[in-house]
Structure 1
Amino acid sequence: MADFHFLRPLWLLAIIALIYLIWQLKKLRIASSAWHKVIPKHLTSMLLSNEENKKPISLIIPSIIGLLIIVAMAGPTWQKIPQPVFEVERGSVIVMDMSFSMLATDIKPNRLTMARFKAMDLVKEINEGEIGLVAYAGDAFVISPLTADINNINLLLPSLSPEIMPELGSNPYPALLLANEMLQNSGHLSGDIYWVTDGISSDELQDINDFIASHDHRVNILGVGTEQGAPITLANGELMKDRGGNIVIPKINLQRLSGISSRSSGLFSPITADESDIEKLGERPIAQAKDMQAQQDNLGDQWQEAGPYLLLIVLPLMLGYFRRGLLFTPILFAFALTTTYTPTVEAQEQTAPLQNKAVETVEPSFWDNLWKTSDQQASAKFEQKQYQAAAEQFNNPQWKASSLYKAGNYEQALQEYEQLLNSDATDERSVSEVIQSTYNHGNTLAQLSKYDDAIAKYDEVLAQQPDHADALANKALIEQLKQQQDEQEQEQNQDQNSDEQQEQDQEQQQSDKNEQQNQDQNQQGDSGQQDDQSQSENSEQQQDSQDPQSSDKSDDANPEQNDNADQNPDDKESDQQSRDNEQQNGEKNDSEQENQAQAQADNAEQNDEQGVENEQMAGMTDSPTAEEIEANQKFDQLLKKVTDDPHLLLRNKMQLEYQKRRQNRSSIGVKEKW
């Protein structure tokens, strides 16, 4: 009640008018009874009518009713209404200790086995939002990024063991930093870290406290082990010893772990045989875990008005006037007119036959309008996550914009925020409300990928409130996204330029190739003509050289025929004609033989190609032989021998990442041996 005040205190001035009205009514009552001073009492009953003999109306009840109505109109209130602040979905990271001390046997069969089972139970207990998995020994590694698929986490947990870690030891500080990086990159400004460990040394305590002080995450710890401890049994069955040859017996410090979790507003539980430890860690919802002061900051200047509840007291006081029909009948009639539901233009449009919409808009009933305002009805829909329906019913621009944002209608939400911030009513609002609207405006711009405008809005918020944690975190995240977007655009431009250059080079090479082919063809044509000419000349020379020889031989061999030839010129001419015909027939036969040889070569080539195709088709259609079946079986056996062991895959993955880290940075945190 310390914040009790009136939202509309000027209505209290109506009390003066109420006092004046009561005074006038009292004077009227006195004036109406003036005959009693003149007429004797025994004649009053006969001279005055029954109406005038009635007792005067009491003014106490009307005074109380009028006072209650005035106070209700003034708007008494003492409680704030939480304003919607955009919070990201729940984000959780499970951090698993994979140091050799987890092989201690004080918990049967050992700490590691129980820790893995408890981690799987914890994943089922959370079962909402996004969950990631980190394992650490001498260094920390991401086993699974944040994901909503809990089955993926459950499949990876059994594969974790100290033997697969690239660097042995115990260094939890890098694991916490890695968990924070995962949450920040996924947009979770405040999340939950579930740390499953068997303890830390005093040297590591300072780094852990610094991490808790600089981050808003809750650190929930499940302590695995006992304060008595037990030896560490290695894979070969031997007990782990220190450099002095003494058997190592790790013990858990439950008080130290409990202090770490309490400083981060987290929860702590030692491991138990039942489910009580997991139930304790999952007691509170984790969408946002902040202290009471941070929760107060999320409350705006919207106050819950108690005036309507005062009117409930007025109703029974007015029952008597319904019978008499006096004084308040016009007021009741006016009140009934104002509370009777009259659809607005938007409601009339919604109730009209919808031809293109499958979902009908449900109108608020008369009863709802009688007891709740439009904003109150919309607020109920907002809590039921009916954001679009709430946005259509809200009159408050801040709530309307928030509903549109929640409904994913960022364009209309952006318009509402711009109108809200640019309107004249902004000057009348409080500073905190303006800051909150500006912050939400920036979030809307970020959702629309308008990163520059969003950063400008965050700067406006930080200019008025430099310690606004959400604005700082969102600004940093948006700057990272903008940088990534610029880098991607630059890479795309470079790829496009390289593609264009390659196309130009290919075109140039193609043109050069075409020119070279044309030149080769021209050269071949010239050489072909020269060859034909040379061949024809050679053939003529050979023929000329052969003719004399043949003629000489024929003359020597057949002198008689020569004589006869000289004697018979007609026979000589006929012999010459026959020789010419034989030569023409020989040339014709040679050309036909060349054509036939070319056709046979083409047919042979086609037959060879067809034979290859037939062999391929036969290989496809024929059933596999015994050798092929045996070869396939051997191939399947080789495939089965390919390593798909999750332990080995995880180890190789972490080993590659560890080698890259050693080249880029030095170790951080305090590293223990087990």
Structure 2
Amino acid sequence: MTDIGFFLSEFHFIRPVWLLLLPVIAAIWVLIRYRARKAGVPDAGLAPHLRDALTLRTNDRKRLLPVDWVAAIISLALIGAAGPAWTRIPDPFVAQTAPMVVILKVTPSMTANDVVPTRLERAKQKTEDLLKLRAGARTALVAYAGTAHLVVPMTNDPTVIKPYLEGLDPEIMPKKGADAVTAFETATAVLKNEETSGAVLFVLDEIGSQDVDTLNAADDPDVAIGALEMLSEGVTGSELANLDFVRVRVSPDDADLRTLDRALNADYRRALNQSGTQPWDDRGWILAWPAALLALLWFRRGWTMRWLIIIVTVSAFGAPESAKADVADWFFTADQRGRLAYQNKDYKAAADLFSDPMWKARALYRDGQYEAAAEAYERIETPEAAFARGLAHIRNRAYRDGVRAFEETLELDPDYPGAAENLKTAKEIVDYVETTREQSDTGEDRGIGADEVVFDNEENQGAETAIGEEGDSSGLLTAQQWMNLVDTRTSDFLRQRFAIEAAEQ
């Protein structure tokens, strides 16, 4: 579904009762305009030729009158008051983009250099750019050649995907070929575990005719499918033109990714509208701009100025004393500018701008400042704030504080959605950390101790042992020796993992 299709399917008015005044305005407009047309120069005492000379544009039936502009301004104001809306206000704790599985083709054909530096390397760069564009959204990565493999399961942390993405190379794939259908089945299996509908994005150069027929026959309303063609201009991909789903050819900028993201997210945004609990986002303010521009015509000769004087007077007395020289401050409050920054995903700027404590805390949370977000939520005594504070503590690995926050949520509202489940999970994490700590004392005979870093261990379970330092003669491995034992080549790890999975298949 395109953006236009999504808009048409979701557009409605929050307060439609205001629209009932439109026929009244139309009737008054017709009446005044009719009278204005009838009014003219008196016939008595004037010769016909003098009357025609003194009358201006009497035959111009298309001439606009002041009442036309006034009717347009009032109509725009009424439509804005009716509250046009087609999306809900974003929930800061729910990703605003669909969960997506990126399917990357890793075959020798992807090493062609018609797309600089190569098709595969450019595909990796585009995938990284897509992760940045979908900040905070859940994304998984599947690679395929003759076999298909889930490289990284669903995660909202792009830094997890990046090293595995860099390690993908045709040489590590266990079987030659290009089985796009199996890759698609792997991706849809991942999406079935998600709570909402999702999307699948192929990043490839060409596809076989048999795979095209199978993919076109896959009719799942919960899965949107798209393809990013890694082909230069003038190069045609085998059977790619026969795909029924959204296809975009790679571009030097991010226009291709934005087009795909909008198209693949339309169904997900519609699902959020239908199942979401957030209030609708009132877009009536958009109509204030054309109404204000039309109001400027009051300066024309013959137009009344009394309404304009009243508006200017009210605006002057209603202006805040702390107004700044910034032009944006003339039209928007700090919270409104914070909201604009929030919608543009500039969460750091939004956190600085918001004066509303709840929205400030939400912006801090989305910016990854979990400790600051928890402190901000602590100043708000509502179940929603307590629940959000618990999530912030968990993100910050302060698990016991998270337990306390979820317990407070249930005290304020025993039926708060998700509080009981999150409390149970947080307690399990605390038990696991403490149990691991207790079992970390492995004894002297094995010669290996536990790391000094332990998160959230208030019970002080387990012994305090550490990896040996340089020059330690006790027989422990030094920290440098431990690092030397770690194989940091992701491609070697993926080669072995893919081989094992191929053998099992």
Task: Give TM-score scaled by structure 2 length.
Answer: 0.48
User: Which structure has greater helix proportion?
Assistant: 1
Larger radius of gyration: 1
Task: Give TM-score scaled by structure 1 length.
Answer: 0.39
